[in-house]
Amino acid sequence: MRRRVTAIVATCVLLVAGCGSDGGDKTQSGEQASHPASIAKLRFSGGAYGYPSPFAYVRGAGLIMCSYVFDTLLWQDSTGEPIPWLAKEWSHSPDGLEWRFTLRDNAKWQDGKPVTAEDVKFSFDYVTTGPAASISRLGPSLDLKEVAVDGPNAVVVRLNKPTAVFEEDVAMRLFIIPRHIWSAVTDPAKFQEASAVMGSGPYKLESFDEAAGSYLFTANDSFYLGSPYAKRIELVPAPDELLALQRGTIDAGEILEDPAPEEQIKAFEANKSLTKLEGSYDWMLALHVNLSKGFPYDRKEFRQAVAYALDRKDMVTRLLAGRGEPQTVGGLTVGHPMLAPDLPTYDRDIAKAKTLLDGLGMKDTNGDGLRELPDGKPFLQELQANNRFTSKSSELVKEYLRDAGIDVRPQILDKATADDSAGKGNYTMALIGYGGMTGDPDQNLRSRYAASPKSTSFTRAIGYSNPAVTDLANRQVTAIDPEQRKPLVVEIQRLVAEDVPIIPLYTPRRMTFYKAGIFDNWYYTPGCTPCRGTRNKHMLVTGKKAGF
């Protein structure tokens, strides 16, 4: 393995607490953090996001809570770049087939036992060939050959083929679990004893009320980076975060998945006791079409017609008051560094939508303004939606498609039912929202459009299979040279934009209001899935925006 010059490494540490290039070392000097004076508590909105163990949490918010208790080898601060976390330094071979991680000397489990290289090896084995292999949320890019222990504090991960996203998809996603607890667990999803949330992370779970959606985390004073800056993290029921902020029950309220009234936003902007933070377009609402349901869903002309019938610009205006962006149709969002240029826009064109539908034999044969199937049967389109998000989106989709002669019946489901239905593909068309859109393109392209048919992720394009997309997706993830990788990513987007198995609608502009003077180093982390905007644990641990 190539080694970087010590002076360069030290400079990188001062700038972003860890950096490096291909085949280089990345390291953090020092074992103990130095951060500002602590604060007693921070209060966020909670919700029903499952037990915060690595195998029982629900959605991205549950992942965040799990990250408070459990650690990964690497993490991210406000820069979005990988930084040392449980591993104090790491390096990889020039061909990307071998990665070495050295653990911090003072890392301990919350029961006082040391974290060892054997625990890291066990964690890899547990999710690849062990009891959690079928439910692991570890990125699909990992083609693991072996994990070898090199002394008590170092592991070497060897791959069968390189992956361009090892740091993001593996080193920042695999929660390291204690072998002395999990080695006896054969059903990890159902293991929800107190010891199931005994990690090495900065916080301990003190209480959890699933029905209320409330969580209480307290500082782990023996944490290897020092006692966390925020001593107590309270997550309380707050369906309307801005209202809860106004009432004083939480310290920061975020507008993301459900638009807020413009008058309310302006009132908060005028409130001098509050500070506004705006961030990236990380969350997206999309219209998913289930191609496995046969005609007309498996015909790209139908999906294109739907795309032309929708008015995504109008949605941004009417739902978001212009505080967002209509999305591109290639799989990556506006502003992504690998976004393909000159993709088809599918701007609203009712005439083109009608022509495409006519070509499929879906015509209005009885003059009622609504189209029938080619055999003359009525075509009534059910549209599943999640009551976690605004119902206005489904009503607008109904309005737009009716102009093209498609009769839509929205079906609003509760959050748990909607997620389960979406993951199993129990729909023909569904409005589905998810984050992580500013992350590495692999999770938004290969995992979505070239996933295994057995995948149960609610974000994937169910029933979609394009051999060219699959081939390109598998090639781009092994291209560790960004210049070689980008053309492959661009071509995937062009093919997906032609097929439109998923029709992205819009991404709201991230906006958080927080009480000034309680904590002022809030930030958004670009590309960080387990951070949900202002929930990055780095901030909670250090009280800083970057570094340690």
C-alpha closest to that of 404 among 352, 367, 329: 352
C-alpha closest to that of 60 among 469, 392, 437, 344: 437
Residue 326: asked if its preceding bond is cis (omega within 30°), the reply is: no
CB 103 within 8 A of CB 89: no
Give the highest mean pLDDT range of 23-32, 245-254, 307-316.
Answer: 307-316
Q: What span, in angstroms and rounded, lies between the C-alpha atoms of 53 and 258?
A: 27
Tell me the pLDDT tens digit for each residue of 197-224: 999 999 999 999 988 889 999 999 999 9
Q: What span, in angstroms and rounded, lies between the C-alpha atoms of 329 and 300?
A: 13
Rounded to 5°, the CA angle 174-175-180 comes to 125
Mean pLDDT of 161-181: 93
Helices within 360-449 (DSSP H only)? 392-403, 415-424, 441-449
pTM, to two decimals: 0.81
Residue type, 309: A
CB 230 within 8 A of CB 39: yes
Q: What span, in angstroms and rounded, lies between the C-alpha atoms of 3 and 5?
A: 7
Q: At what angle do helices 467-476 and 441-449 cross, to 10 degrees?
A: 150
Q: What span, in angstroms and rounded, lies between the C-alpha atoms of 260 and 257?
A: 9
| pLDDT of the residue at 257 | 61
**Number of neighbours of residue 183 by Cβ within 10 angstroms:** 13
Paired tokens of 406: 């498609």
Residue with tokens 């781009």: 476
Phi-psi group of 509: left, alpha or beta (phi > 0 → left; psi -120 to 50 → alpha; rest → beta): beta
* Strands 380-386 and 74-76, sheet pairing: unpaired
Rounded to 5°, the CA angle 404-409-411 comes to 140
DSSP 115: P
| pLDDT of the residue at 256 | 65
Lowest mean pLDDT among 36-40, 108-112, 174-178: 36-40
Q: What span, in angstroms and rounded, lies between the C-alpha atoms of 335 and 312?
A: 17
Domains by residue range for the chain, with CATH: 38-52+202-273+512-548 (3.40.190.10), 284-508 (3.10.105.10)
Tell me the pLDDT tens digit for each residue of 5-51: 222 233 233 333 333 334 556 654 444 445 567 899 999 988 888 89
Q: How confident is the model at residue 119 (pLDDT cuts 50, 70, 90)?
A: very high
Paired tokens of 398: 């109904």
C-alpha closest to that of 288 among 479, 17, 503: 503
Residue 306: φ, ψ to 5° = -60, -40
Paired tokens of 39: 């604060």
Tell me the pLDDT tens digit for each residue of 342-381: 999 999 999 999 999 999 999 999 999 999 999 999 999 9
Mean pLDDT of 299-327: 94
User: Starting at the edge strand that comes first in sequence, how are the strands of the sheet with 154-159 ordered?
Assistant: 25-27, 87-92, 98-103, 154-159, 144-149
Please give the helix or strand (H or E) that residue 98 lies within, else none: strand 98-103
Q: What span, in angstroms and rounded, lies between the C-alpha atoms of 417 and 433?
A: 14
Q: What span, in angstroms and rounded, lies between the C-alpha atoms of 548 and 545?
A: 9
| pLDDT of the residue at 35 | 54
Q: How confident is the model at residue 407 (pLDDT cuts 50, 70, 90)?
A: very high
Residue by residue, DSSP assigns 166-218 as: HIIIIITT-----HHHHTT-S-TTT--SGGGG--SSSEEEEEEETTTTEEEEE
Q: What span, in angstroms and rounded, lies between the C-alpha atoms of 209 and 225?
A: 29
Mean pLDDT of 280-293: 90
C-alpha closest to that of 541 among 32, 14, 10: 32
C-alpha closest to that of 484 among 167, 170, 162: 162
C-alpha closest to that of 229 among 528, 518, 524, 502: 518
CB 461 within 8 A of CB 298: no
Residue with tokens 């998809």: 169
Mean pLDDT of 386-399: 91
